[in-house]
Structure 1
Amino acid sequence: MKIGFLVIDMQTIHLQGIDKQVIDKACEYINYVSDMFRSKDQVVIHIQDIEGITESSREAFSIIPEIHVMETDLILTKEYTNGFWKTELEQMLKEQGVDFLIISGNAAEYCVLSTYNGAIERGFSTVILQNGILSTHNDVITSTYRDRNIISYPAIKYLLNK
């Protein structure tokens, strides 16, 4: 079994309105899981929403420096909420042999859930990283954890060591 880890829209422009401490906590979980994935030669993919990007706004669309991006990571851009819609994500995952996905990032009620649903529609077993998603609305985080499949990093560690 190969596992893919998606880090969605962790970009300055999309994190406005979220408390810095909340962002830092999510980044800690995302980076920890990313490091576990890399150490086991699993796939880490950073997805960047570039809808509306201009030459003058390019820097605001960059992945925030708190998220560690390594040379072995894959990067994909998108223009829609669902990371699968009109992108090469499904093909990338199939080429890597991924059949199980863990999703993290921003914004829980939009891009995270759209990509989660898109993954399930395409036959991937999919879960959301506990403490690894963000939103400007705290109640959205609570309902996402209540209504979707989630996974903690100790469970990920166990899976990666199987």
Structure 2
Amino acid sequence: MEESNMHKNKAADSPVFLVVDVQVDVVAAAYRRDDVVANIAALVDRARAKGIPVVWVRHQNARLRAESPGWQIVPELAPLDGEPIVDKRFGDAFADTDLGEVLERLNADRIVLCGALTENCVRSTFNGALYRGFPVTLITDAHTTVDRRPSGLDYSPANAIAVLNYQAESTTLPGLASQAVSTAEAFTG
């Protein structure tokens, strides 16, 4: 089945909760780190209670070496045995990984997204999911980034988060749209 259409043949309302790169070194200096991790922990608990699959993503590169202490998912969040963990080397969690196959096995028809870093891997995965035909719900208070201010830009973590939240509120593609909701609003139906 073509990857971009794989969710269209699934049962309606089969979300997957995708947790991107909430790793020790990735979020060590992140904006509102403790609040965001607490929100993600609450969402993980709520998703599990509702039988919604949780899929974990971990980044690795030369500075974030696989199996190193900093590469581990933060201790406040513990994947359960059997929950898929996707390891990636690029910003988009779909790029050169088995995420598409994992979502296929889970019969996913939409993605609920959170994680780090907002303007890099969360945004890339948000766009990657949409371009592969998945509606995406971004959790507005469950993604974060660090204060980098690239190229001297006045682009604070709060600005980066606000920009992606706005993108999630306003992005539409043929036949699908994204949305943005808070932790309090997610998985409540």
Instruction: Give the structure-1-normalised TM-score.
Output: 0.88
How far the C-alpha of 1:17 sits from its partner, in A, is: 2.8
Unaligned runs of 5+ in 1: none
- Distance in 1 (CA, whole Å) between partners of 2:24 and 2:184 is 29
Q: Residue 45 of structure 1 aligns to a residue in which SS? A: strand
Percent of aligned pairs with the same residue?
A: 22
2:153 alignment partner in structure 1: none
How far the C-alpha of 1:72 sits from its partner, in A, is: 4.0
Distance change in 2, residues 1:36/1:16 (3 Å)? closer
1:4 alignment partner in structure 2: 16
Unaligned runs of 5+ in 2: 1-12, 147-156, 169-178
Deviates more, 1:6-15 or 1:148-157: 148-157
1:75-128, CA deviations, whole angstroms, 9 ceiling, x for partnerless residues? 110000000000010111011011111110100000000000000011111021
1:17 alignment partner in structure 2: 29
2:186 alignment partner in structure 1: 156
- Distance in 1 (CA, whole Å) between partners of 2:138 and 2:26 is 19
- CA RMSD across the alignment: 1.7
1:9-46, CA deviations, whole angstroms, 9 ceiling, x for partnerless residues? 11122124325xx1111111111111111112211011
- Distance in 1 (CA, whole Å) between partners of 2:161 and 2:187 is 23
2:176 alignment partner in structure 1: none
Report the number of matched residues: 156
Instruction: Give the structure-2-normalised TM-score.
Output: 0.77
Alignment of 1:125-144 (within 5 A): 125-136=135-146, 137-144=157-164
Alignment of 1:100-119 (within 5 A): 100-119=110-129
Q: Which has the higher strand share?
A: 1
2:167 alignment partner in structure 1: 147
